[in-house]
Amino acid sequence: MNDMMLLIEPLIPQLRRYARALVKDHATADDLVQDCLERAITRWHQRRQDGDARTWLFTILHNLAVSHMRQNRRRGSHVTLDDGVDEAMIARPATQEDALHHADVMQALQTLPEEQRSVLLLVSVEDLTYAEAARVLDIPIGTVMSRLARAREKLLQKMEGTPAQEAAKGGATIHRPVFGAGIFRRVK
Amino acid sequence: MNAGRPITEEDFQAYVDHALDERRRAEVDEYLSTHPDAARRVAAYAAQREALRAALAPIAEEPVPHRLNLARLVEARQHRQARSWLSTPGAAVGAGPWRNIAAAVALVLVGGAGGWSMHGIAAGKASLNPETMLTQEAMDNYRVYAADAVRPVEMHAGEQEQLLRWVSQRLDRKVAVPDLSASGYRFMGGRLVATAHGPGAMFFYDDSSGNRIAMLVRPMKQDGDAPMTEHQKDDVGGVTWCNRGMGYSLVADASAQALHPLADEARRQLRTKI
């Protein structure tokens, strides 16, 4: 029981973030996390001992979120998937010149199909390895990589026209030194 | 130029995700330094990654809401297990102290039947009398919908008028909803459910801890009244009665004894409303 508390509790903020990014609605996202935690408590002793608790929790949460989104899609309510966001809103340039606006990137994220959004969030935001993301999504690593590439490319297209992207297109002279300066270096 | 393995699209992704070892990373860096288009694209991916992280970071910094408190969830589960043990036949006399933590109470109201056999406790025993069948239908629906974290009800409390119009039309009888807020249970909404005897209306309530109760209503074959009877099937208890041909069954993840006062209150209100 103490093991469970120690392993699960620190992950709750991350689980909330993933759920929120997938379904947007705050209350629904926390409903999913609560359901996930209740299942985790019930099934704690059934999980594979050699498995990683974080991957296991994300798997439970992801499956709950996907079944919730499919249910909503069948009902034709809630625009949580790739078809409900106003294109004009996404294309509108951000007011600040030097950064991608949070709202813009979130809007663009919502235009991705669920399968691409999941991969992008698990890898880019939640820092799962490709192998861990493959386990959560129950797909081969090769599929993780190809979905990730498609997700990034599609997000890039959606973000075209916002100032930061204009800057990114501005020329290699601006950005090549950035590589040298090492902002892409391993964080840890 | 690097003379090693050719640079792949996957290398770009792994570069952005800081997933390359130092050597491969250096090779990709070298490639990018001579391929400005690829460099621009990879830089854009990296900017995008940082923007996503920055946009979502505040969510993980929010305080965790009370209902996601792990210790509380573990405790709630232990209570449910204890209650399920206490509410087994023979142990139900111990249910008193657990009444206040009854997790989910499903009220199933089923339309009336005269001439029922008047068994008292029908704990877990299969029987074909109308009251038992009604209770079984209530418990089955309760297990499915009350356990649903996402969408237990089809129409919410705010749509009560439309809900009642809808189910009254489908049941071809006037249906009313008791107000159990004085007992600490807030009306959540309801839905149409399937029973072996046609459509039924099921209403759900929850308390401030999120524990759910529900009530199922359907017309009975025979007109008339039937007194309350208590039923227990594993961890789900039920109290069932009939009033002027409408059958009502209140069921919950609690002992039938614990449910009885709520059923009394529901019946009292329904007699005046219908």
Mean pLDDT, chain A, as a whole number? 75
Task: Give the strand pairing for B198-206 and B212-219.
Answer: antiparallel
Q: Give percent of chain B above pLDDT 90.
A: 50
The pLDDT of residue B150 is: 81
**Residue B91 DSSP SS3:** coil
Do A8 and B47 count as a contact with CB atoms less than 8 A apart?
no
Do B70 and A172 count as a contact with CB atoms less than 8 A apart?
no
- Higher local confidence (pLDDT), A187 or A95: A95
Do B33 and A179 count as a contact with CB atoms less than 8 A apart?
yes
- In Å, how far is A162's CA from the nearest CA of chain B? 12
- Higher local confidence (pLDDT), A106 or A115: A115
Among A29-43, A76-90, B171-185, B189-203, name the one with the lowest average pLDDT: A76-90
Do B39 and A129 count as a contact with CB atoms less than 8 A apart?
no
- In Å, how far is B224's CA from the nearest CA of chain A? 39
Q: Would you say residue B235 has pLDDT above 70?
A: yes
In whole angstroms, what is the distance from residue A168 CA to residue B45 CA? Answer: 10
The per-residue pLDDT for range B113-144, each reduced to its tens digit, is: 333 333 444 444 444 688 899 999 999 999 99
The per-residue pLDDT for range A71-112, each reduced to its tens digit, is: 776 655 444 334 444 333 333 344 443 345 777 888 889 899
The length of chain B in residues reads: 274
The pLDDT of residue B260 is: 87
Q: Would you say residue B95 has pLDDT above 60?
A: no
Q: Does the beta carbon of B128 lie under 8 angstroms from any beta carbon of chain A?
A: no
Q: Would you say residue A154 has pLDDT above 60?
A: yes
Q: Would you say residue B36 has pLDDT above 70?
A: yes
Contact between A106 and A60 (Cβ < 8 Å): no
The pLDDT of residue A184 is: 36
The pair of three-digit structure tokens given for residue B228, joined into one six-digit string: 């309350």
Do A184 and B52 count as a contact with CB atoms less than 8 A apart?
no
Instruction: List CB contacts (< 8 A) between A69 and chain B.
Output: none
- In Å, how far is B166's CA from the nearest CA of chain A? 18
Q: At what angle do helices A141-159 and A102-110 cross, to 10 degrees?
A: 130
The pLDDT of residue B90 is: 41
Q: Would you say residue B40 has pLDDT above 50?
A: yes
Q: Which residues pair with B199 in a beta bridge?
A: B194
Residue A7's pLDDT band, with cuts at 50, 70 and 90, is: confident
Residues 6+ apart with CB under 8 A from A7: A53
Any idea what the Cα angle at residue A141 is, between residues A139 and A143, rounded to 5°? Answer: 65
Residue B16's pLDDT band, with cuts at 50, 70 and 90, is: very high
Task: Give the strand pairing for B236-243 and B212-219.
Answer: unpaired
Among A91-95, A138-142, B51-55, B216-220, name the one with the lowest average pLDDT: A91-95
- Higher local confidence (pLDDT), A104 or A58: A58
Over range B80-87, report the average pLDDT. 61
Q: Give percent of chain A above pLDDT 70.
A: 68
Over range A111-127, report the average pLDDT. 95
Q: Does the beta carbon of A151 lie under 8 angstroms from any beta carbon of chain B?
A: no
